[in-house]
Amino acid sequence: MLQVEIIPVLADNYIFLLYDSNSRETAVVDPAPAKPVLDALQKHGWQLNYIFNTHHHSDHVGANLHLKQETNCKIVGSAVDQARIPGIDIKLAEGDEVKLGNQTFQVIDTPGHTLGHIVYYNAGNQALFCGDTLFSLGCGRLFEGSAEQMWQSLQKLRALPPETRVYCAHEYTAANGRFAQSVDAENTELQQRVTQVAALRQQNIPTIPTSIGLELATNPFFRADNVCIRSNIGMAEQSDLAVFRQLRLMKDQFR
């Protein structure tokens, strides 16, 4: 069984601590500061075996070298980004698998936010660790890749089973929801979700994990083919890619 502990850090980041109860192996996804990870490991009596990095940004790899020095763990990341991931030991690409004890994680290339972004999908526990590619009600900014790359990356994630739990790396849901409502106001499921998100955040409860099914119903970046969204932004006859590109530009400028 895979246990997942959410560790909130910095202003709005989430680190995920993964524990395979059968093998007692432990991994951490995208650690920025080291201390919260070390504190959680000590609390549980776990030994860190791996760091799973989704991409090279400092708020995802900042603790790599400190944790490696303290625990002698192996660092896993994208072969494309190997020069930018501190301490990397295992270099991965689309179709590769990485093991955490009895748990198998499929590696999916998802360029867009960065050119070397990857995500980790655990089919056995229906869990996706997607860094900054997919957010709850949103998607990552296009810092290095193109809109076409990001749209293709999102298609891979849209195709995962709807019950897949989505562990994204930031608490952006409330802000994303405001933008989503601006382009998809007729969506009653979205309206209900925004209300639920506000209630959770008032209690400082994470809105993560979300699910692929929930994103298919409410995330405009998963719904560039939706008739209402296309009509609302005046792009009824445009391609899905063109609609996605426009949505991403609109979100970048949304206040």
Catalytic site residue from 56, 60, 109, 184: 60
- How much is the pLDDT for 255? 80
More confident: 1 or 186: 186
Catalytic site residue from 20, 30, 55, 56: 55
CB 43 within 8 A of CB 26: no
CA dihedral 98, 73, 11, 153 (to 10 degrees): -20
Of 148, 150, 216, which is closest to residue 184 (Cα–Cα)?
216
Q: With the C-alpha atoms ordered 30, 33, 36, 42, is the resulting torsion angle positive or negative?
A: positive
Instruction: Please confirm, yes or no, whether 59 is among the known catalytic residues.
Output: yes
The pLDDT tens digits for 99-134 are 999 999 999 999 999 999 999 999 999 999 999 999
User: pTM for the complete prediction?
Assistant: 0.97
- How much is the pLDDT for 194? 97
The pLDDT tens digits for 193-244 are 999 999 999 999 999 999 999 999 999 999 999 999 999 999 999 999 999 9
Instruction: Please confirm, yes or no, whether 117 is among the known catalytic residues.
Output: no
Catalytic site residue from 56, 117, 170, 184: 170
Instruction: Please confirm, yes or no, whether 44 is among the known catalytic residues.
Output: no
Q: What is the amino acid identity at position 215?
A: E
Instruction: Please confirm, yes or no, whether 57 is among the known catalytic residues.
Output: yes
